[in-house]
Amino acid sequence: MRSAFAVFLALFVCVLTTACSPSGPKTVKVIGKLNSNDQPLKIDPKGSVTIVFTPVAGAGAGAQFSTYPGRYSSESPTFEIVNIPEGKYKVSLNCMVPQPTKETEDINQRYTAEKTPIIREVKGNELIVIDLAKPEGK
């Protein structure tokens, strides 16, 4: 009887451990900067830029979400995205400002999810710098 109970207890612990262990790819927190010609991008203080990371073929496979949004404002010239799987991502931008300028309209047209040339590798907790003067990162 004791051995049957011990086997049952061992199986129960194995099932419980497997069911409660985290699943899916490793996730990290991304902190990044959005620049224009090596300077923080300046936009209306009442506005912001939505930054969306979309996995490139196979990146983040098995992840819970298909896109990972962040927010940038001129007040804090950084953006943050939490719980994003490591991998390669296309990065799209959308400026939301009370009074659009030629620059913000250009950003909204050039950096859509379909057109963006920005591709970045997310690994560990490395800082990601996006400079609109060098969108490919070179």
N-terminal to C-terminal alpha carbon distance within the chain: 69
Domains of the chain, residue spans:
25-131
Angle at 32 between CA 30 and CA 35, to 5 degrees: 160
pLDDT in tens, 74-100: 888 899 999 999 999 999 999 999 999
* pTM for this prediction: 0.77
Angle at 80 between CA 113 and CA 135, to 5 degrees: 45
pLDDT in tens, 20-68: 445 678 899 999 999 999 999 999 999 999 999 999 976 555 555 689 9
Return the pLDDT at 8. Answer: 42
Q: Out of 7-11, 14-18, 48-52, 63-67, give the one with best mean pLDDT.
A: 48-52
Superfamily of domain 25-131: Carboxypeptidase-like, regulatory domain (2.60.40.1120)
